[in-house]
Structure 1
Amino acid sequence: MNTELVLFGVFAVMTLVSAGLVITARSPINSAMSLVSTFFFLAGIYVLLWAHTVAVMQVLVYAGAIMVLFLFVIMLLNLGDAAHRGRPTVTRILGGASAFGLLAVLAVTLGRTNAIPANLGPQAQATFGTMASVGQSIFTAWLLPFEAVSLLLLVAMVGAVVVAKSRI
């Protein structure tokens, strides 16, 4: 039993616990904060997998920017204590059935995959996942989608400010 295996077990269990709290929390604020902790535990798992770039992006993009937007919407809509636990409705039953169906499809797919990882050559191993290779890929092959997403985020920010300003 090595340290990486123990840390992976701790991060995996804490990710599952905090993801469960996202679903079961009564308050949307508590749910959003549990989602932040889920993102941080996932970043820890990425570090254990030697995917440091993905771990940094996980913290910066998801735990930082996306969660700020989530909290802004929760506060803007005044959803502090809006979660009601009532009797099962058709949409809740369909949502639960869809989640279990997706879990079954995921389990079947994982059962059919080959567990042997692909081998990378020495040159690919040296540059795989580095900031230079990610930047090279984004600004050459994926430049148009990258700019489209940045424009979409700008429009979303301006729209959020306009909506918030009309309520102030």
Structure 2
Amino acid sequence: METAVFIVCAAIVLAGALGVVLSRNPVHAALSLVGTLFGVAVLFLNLEAHFLAAVQIIVYAGAIVVLFLFVIMLLGVDRLEDLSVEPITGQRALAALVGVGTFGLLVAFLLAGDVSVINPPDTAAEITGQSSNLRRIADVLFTDYVYAFEATAALLTISVVGAVVMSRRMTRDGGAQENAGED
């Protein structure tokens, strides 16, 4: 039974993730994200992590996606725009170059470091000892997984900068103009 639930939920998560990436309408992409987050919540329930499932639904599927939809509606990015015109010349080539460079650095880091992807350390073991669970989780997060933690922080910062850049619209004379209050 658990395997069937996993397969169905994994299919829902993958379909929702593909909908987020491939959808041309930002509102549809946000709704696909809701499907993905609900699928992950059911996977948490399948693993008997009831608190994580509740947090997944309340915080992510509820508050975060509502915030995304609010920003989408506020910025008005649901209007069709000509994607063949680049507001910043050469941005696609630069983005491809940065993506390939980042992938190369990741591969070099994995090959040169002592990070084991095939046999990772056992993180599902029971937390024991005299210290509290919060202290033990913080120790693991900021020692064993510090690179993943920092990468997440960098991705969130880059996404905020990207949202600010996307909210600006180019005027006819080539200067940037704020998008608030226009139509």
Residue correspondence of structure 1 range 126-145 to structure 2 within 5 A? none
Structure 1, unmatched stretches of 5+, are 122-127, 134-165
**What is aligned with 2:120?**
113
Structure with the largest fraction of helix: 1
**What is aligned with 1:29?**
27
The count of aligned residue pairs is 123
One-letter identity of the residue aligned with 2:24:
R
Relative contact order: is structure 1 or structure 2 higher (C-alpha 8 Å, sep ≥ 6)? 1
CA contact (8 A) 1:47 1:55 kept: yes
Deviation at 1:119, TM superposition (A): 3.5
2:54 pairs, out of 56, 68, 71, with 56
Percent of counterpart pairs with the same letter?
A: 37
**What is aligned with 2:93?**
90
Normalised by the size of structure 2, how large is the TM-score? 0.54
Deviation at 1:83, TM superposition (A): 6.4
Deviating 4+ runs (over 6 angstroms)? none
One-letter identity of the residue aligned with 1:56:
A
Relative to structure 1, the CA distance from residue 44 to residue 24 in structure 2 (aligned partners, 3 Å threshold; closer, same or farther) is same
Deviation at 1:103, TM superposition (A): 7.9
CA contact (8 A) 1:28 1:83 kept: no
Relative to structure 1, the CA distance from residue 38 to residue 77 in structure 2 (aligned partners, 3 Å threshold; closer, same or farther) is same
**What is aligned with 1:9?**
7
Deviation at 1:111, TM superposition (A): 1.6
One-letter identity of the residue aligned with 1:48:
N
**What is aligned with 1:38?**
36
